[in-house]
């Protein structure tokens, strides 16, 4: 922990063998999140923000996937008690095929997590051409989204900021198209198998070079 050198960053490889989704993009605004019910995933804030979005775009739908996000979960009960369940579908744990189809179906992947070490669903959404909205201070999220060049960054801790950016994105087809293209281009260039393999090879080369002549 006392090594102050800038470390080499070796990202997860983009799983671009996810196959072709069997669904088309929704005809109405759909937001999807793949997470869990833990506090760091920030789903309650997303639900508060989504209620604000519904006040502006009545046809919008939020679909929540992951453990603890089932329709009979405590979090779903909390949402109903707080009157924050309008337009929300709690899907819970889904298999990989269904998850990919949900990401492909959505207009926006709203990643509300307060922190991430990487964020695989960001990469998967970008591969599918689904625009991503993520936290501007959420760990690796800004880096994965190329500083905002491959996705929209916002203050996910603020329902006001989160809802405002969702409304803006869902109301601007041109911006959704731009983010779809830039996200796909970025994920293929930065996280594709060839790129990540080269980064690993280079890291090993540097490690070997720095230990030449050192007896182990």
State pLDDT tens for residues 62-102: 999 999 999 999 999 999 999 999 999 999 999 988 999 99
Q: Tell me the pLDDT tens digit for each residue of 153-176.
A: 999 999 999 999 999 999 999 999
Query: Tell me, what's the pLDDT at 7?
Result: 65
Nearest residue to 79 via CA among 38, 48, 113, 41: 48
- What is the per-residue pLDDT for 189? 86
At residue 21, the pLDDT reads 62
Q: Kindly report, residue by residue over 12-28, the tens digit of the pLDDT.
A: 767 654 555 657 899 99
Closest C-alpha among 59, 162, 196 to residue 152 = 162
Token code pair at residue 171: 């109301």
Average pLDDT over residues 165-192: 94
Measure Cα distances from 9 to 88, 113, 140, 203, 211 in Å. 37, 21, 11, 9, 20
Model confidence at 207, pLDDT cuts 50, 70, 90, reads confident
High-pLDDT (> 90) share of the chain, % = 73
pLDDT mean over 30-52? 98
> Which residue, 177, 168, 184, is CA-closest to 123?
184
Tens-place pLDDT, residues 104-127: 999 999 999 999 999 999 999 999
Kindly indicate the confidence band of residue 192, based on its pLDDT and cuts at 50, 70 and 90.
Answer: confident
How would residue 208 be classed by pLDDT, with cut points 50, 70 and 90? confident
Q: What does pLDDT average to over the chain?
A: 90
Structure tokens, 80: 């109903």
Rounded average pLDDT over 193-209: 78
pLDDT, average across residues 126-134: 95
Q: For residue 108, count CB atoms less than 10 angstroms from its CB and return exposed for 0-12, middle for 13-18, buried for 19 or more.
A: buried
Alpha helices in the chain (DSSP H): 43-56, 74-81, 96-105, 120-127, 141-144, 159-170, 173-190, 193-210
The neighbouring-strand residues paired with 153 are 134
What pLDDT score was predicted for residue 49? 98
């Amino acid at each position: 922990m006392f090594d102050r050198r800038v470390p080499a960053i070796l990202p997860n490889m983009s799983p671009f063998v996810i196959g072709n989704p069997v669904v088309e993009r929704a005809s109405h605004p759909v937001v999807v999140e793949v997470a869990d019910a833990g506090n760091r995933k920030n789903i309650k804030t997303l639900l508060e923000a989504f209620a604000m979005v519904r006040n502006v775009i009545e046809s919008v739908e939020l679909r929540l996937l992951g453990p603890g996000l089932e329709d009979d979960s405590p979090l779903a009960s909390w949402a109903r008690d707080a009157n924050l369940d309008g337009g929300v579908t709690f899907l819970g744990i889904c298999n990989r095929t269904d998850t990919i189809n949900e990401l492909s179906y959505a207009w926006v992947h709203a990643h509300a997590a307060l922190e991430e070490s990487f964020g695989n669903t960001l990469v998967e959404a970008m591969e599918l051409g689904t625009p991503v909205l993520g936290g501007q201070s959420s760990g690796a999220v800004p880096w994965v989204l190329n500083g905002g060049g491959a996705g929209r960054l916002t203050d996910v801790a603020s329902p006001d900021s989160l809802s405002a950016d969702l409304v803006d994105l869902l109301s601007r087809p041109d911006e959704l198209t731009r983010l779809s293209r830039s996200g796909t281009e970025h994920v293929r260039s930065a996280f594709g198998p060839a790129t990540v393999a080269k980064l690993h090879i280079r890291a090993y080369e540097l490690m070997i070079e720095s230990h030449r002549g050192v007896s182990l």
